[in-house]
Structure 1
């Protein structure tokens, strides 16, 4: 009975947290209301303020589950149960956040600890399980705002810290218990952060060399899961689009490219083992007379395995350097615990052969320029992008296949993530998708071209080759590690402070002191 009363007492807070989670989901594409982050974060903190750790976990979980339910409904294409499972799994990370943040809010340095805890939470979601799912990071929504430019200095984790900090400062200003001096400091600090971000300038100048690249979106014969099993048609769609590009070049309607980029899964049939597929690729390469970066699924390296790759196919020497996707998608490209799960979840048989992760970094030298190749969801993972930058990438390439999720908002979300990577790395990003969204993104995050979905699209762009590194690239993972460490430190200090008995005021009976130490359910 007492537990029911406790639950009833925190119900209004849980409702507020659920509303805050829904608002935060609307921050991202396809809704694209980033300013709502500065309402969602304070609302969550208001719901967590003054509660126990158990209540904090429940409130944080309600927030997180709602947040992901609004953020990734596109996963219901695979199945409603998959969307629910992901929302619950990711939401529980925010339950842990709520558990610790509820106590950190009682510490004198709570304004620092809470945004650091947010970074730590995003670090956890981006790491576990099965390599994590870094889709819900606050920073992804801010490519169009001055705050987004800070990613070039402090990286994606640092930008998340800044956004969470601004939300905390809004809470400090609005919190009834805040002293006037704290409110004044919070207001000034918030204005200063926004002001400084507006002064940051992002260079788009190259090293004097430019590359003319063609992104080919051949389209697929169907939507959702319908395109599966039509691999030969998809390859020939890209062949046809490339032959049309050659005609446009010959007619003077297009610049002759130095490189042509085909998307992930532009061929799902191994061209090393299938003569017809190899012939299609070689016909395209010889037609344009320049290398094509082909997105191909290769058989092996082991029995019943495959690899998703980018192959540099030269018109004279044929296939050369290969990048194999290092971070395949669990339950999409491979099945963890395959033998145990397949007997119970027959739908997983659609995944087919296990995708084996690649071992080498995706830096591909082509005609004197280093291209950093990342494939599809890999663009959201810090280590993948960091490794190609460390390897000397001068231009970034994203080969992707979003046909399964076309029209659901997922392609828009991935394109927004890609824009933030352009700002963070200071590199032009060339995006080639089978069915959209393909495009060209400048080093300052501005869009030169953005294709429609489920339409053929060929775009040719001359882009700068860049060697200069942003501060974020130089710092690498240090901002994330430091901020995560501070978040953990803040949680520990808050828990230690919680265990210390409060000193009784003169004349206060012991029983009264004990009653004040209790926290709400």
Structure 2
């Protein structure tokens, strides 16, 4: 393939993949994009595969992560997008080398994709798993497969189906070329390539629909939840410049919702949830803030989860979820386990300060929480709600969400603050992740934001009462409490490690085969040509 055409196809694939994620939500664009990538990277070799993957990654990550620079400028946005694109460059290099003979290798492509996504989710500084392939599949048959093996399994199946489509296209074009190049083509010679085309095409179709057979049960005892979206004075980095107003907004919205309960227009909630940063005034140290919250809890007569900041430990800040109960005050806390690097803490501060003094805008680092958080409260009917906590970007980390379920959670609570990302796709992208988590773990999700989007999500991934951005609103209703564990919960990270082991084996065999070919043994073709000639294959 002509190198320019290869790069052009990779750019097209990156742009096409954007359509699979909110707010476009064209899920079928994902397997089609990966089909184009598999086609573009096949036979590229390592160097050209890397360049092709990097440029395609930029075409994908630059627009889909544009929200990250909405208020902080283009440098952090482009730096983040470039870092993520480098992992696609790595994927292009690995697959380009594995497919250097020029034939599409669907299983190799799927393994490379899963390993690259797993690496991206872990490095550097704990990784950034946002925009995993699975997170754009909440409405697709592919998405239902998450209950079997988590987000990595969904990504592998989407990648495999895309590569199978590429293989079918390769066989079809080969058949056309053979027909044109033959003066007298027999029926047998023509139909054989047709069958070779049909098998991968049908296989891709089966993979694209098999998820419909995966059950996503929603039965179980229920509890009433109330999520409060109090709103902020204005979007932007200074969303909480008037911290008391943000707290007052959540108090006012909660008491207004309670009026409907007192008047008999709405059922009493068993648990009320405020979002991240609802009280950035330390509610354990500031008497006014604490008094407001306790008065609200007394009016509710039910437990309240408050997202707040604590001025502790000394010299640091803690991003927390606090459980307040009537007559008891604060009874439990969860500290965010994965603070966001370069936003909530500065890793290797002295090193990065040599590049930009802006790192010191983060004056105090956020501390890392010790472990999963599960808040336990008893409903009026005697049911126990065990709410597994995640704060903001933590919803994108497989292990953090799985740990909460394995610690006993029968419902998940995602508290977030999207005010710093304005009217962008960041909030819909995050809500889509929560929807996939509901299917993955068979748990209802209470997803509550300071400014939207908020929603109640049932275990089949359906989002109910989705709110608008930058409005004051509440989401309320009954959600099932489930204790059954999905296969994805039980297997954990095993699919990723199995994929990594299989890829390493494939690479080792490729290296061994390459040495044998260079040795020029009997019956072994000579493939010692320079990588720049790979496109001739």
Shorter-chain TM-score above 0.5: yes
Change (3 A) 1:202 1:505: same
Cα deviation, 1:430-473, whole Å, max 9, x if unaligned, reads 01111111110110001222111100111211111111111111
1:272 matches 2:284: yes
Change (3 A) 1:506 1:395: closer
1:201 maps to 215
Q: Tell me, yes or no, if the aligned pair for 2:240 and 2:280 is still in contact at 8 Å.
A: no
Alignment of 1:232-251 (within 5 A): 232-251=244-263
1:192 matches 2:183: no
Q: Tell me, yes or no, if the aligned pair for 2:45 and 2:100 is still in contact at 8 Å.
A: no
1:219 maps to 231
1:118 maps to 113
Paired residue secondary structure (1:373):
strand
1:86 maps to 80
Q: Tell me, yes or no, if the aligned pair for 1:27 and 1:35 is still in contact at 8 Å.
A: yes
1:475 matches 2:486: no
Paired residue secondary structure (1:255):
coil
Change (3 A) 1:195 1:410: closer
Alignment of 1:44-443 (within 5 A): 44-77=37-70, 78-106=72-100, 110-175=105-170, 176-177=173-174, 179-206=193-220, 209-301=221-313, 303-342=314-353, 345-367=356-378, 368-443=384-459
Distance in 2 between the 1:478 and 1:513 partners? Answer: 36
Cα deviation, 1:378-421, whole Å, max 9, x if unaligned, reads 00001101100110110000011111113111000000011000
Q: Tell me, yes or no, if the aligned pair for 1:106 and 1:494 is still in contact at 8 Å.
A: no
What's the RMSD between the two structures over aligned residues?
2.3
User: Mean Cα displacement is larger for which, 337-346 or 352-361?
Assistant: 337-346
The offset of 1:64, in angstroms, is 1.3
Higher relative contact order (CA 8 A, sep 6+): 1
1:10 matches 2:3: yes
Distance in 2 between the 1:92 and 1:499 partners? Answer: 28
Alignment of 1:440-451 (within 5 A): 440-451=456-467
The offset of 1:185, in angstroms, is 2.2
Aligned residue pair count = 509
The offset of 1:177, in angstroms, is 4.5
1:4 maps to none
1:462 matches 2:474: no
Change (3 A) 1:507 1:245: closer
Q: Tell me, yes or no, if the aligned pair for 1:26 and 1:71 is still in contact at 8 Å.
A: no
Change (3 A) 1:503 1:267: same
The offset of 1:52, in angstroms, is 2.3
Distance in 1 between the 2:437 and 2:318 partners? Answer: 25
Cα deviation, 1:249-300, whole Å, max 9, x if unaligned, reads 1111211111110001001111111111101111111111111001010111
The offset of 1:127, in angstroms, is 0.2
1:5 maps to none
Unaligned ranges ≥5, structure 2: 176-192, 379-383
Q: Tell me, yes or no, if the aligned pair for 1:117 and 1:488 is still in contact at 8 Å.
A: no
Change (3 A) 1:514 1:217: closer
Q: Tell me, yes or no, if the aligned pair for 2:142 and 2:209 is still in contact at 8 Å.
A: no
Distance in 2 between the 1:417 and 1:101 partners? Answer: 28
Cα deviation, 1:340-373, whole Å, max 9, x if unaligned, reads 4346534333333210010021111122321101
The offset of 1:484, in angstroms, is 2.4
Paired residue secondary structure (2:534):
coil
Q: Tell me, yes or no, if the aligned pair for 1:103 and 1:491 is still in contact at 8 Å.
A: no
1:3 maps to none
Distance in 1 between the 2:523 and 2:134 partners? Answer: 51
Change (3 A) 1:484 1:506: closer
1:491 maps to 507
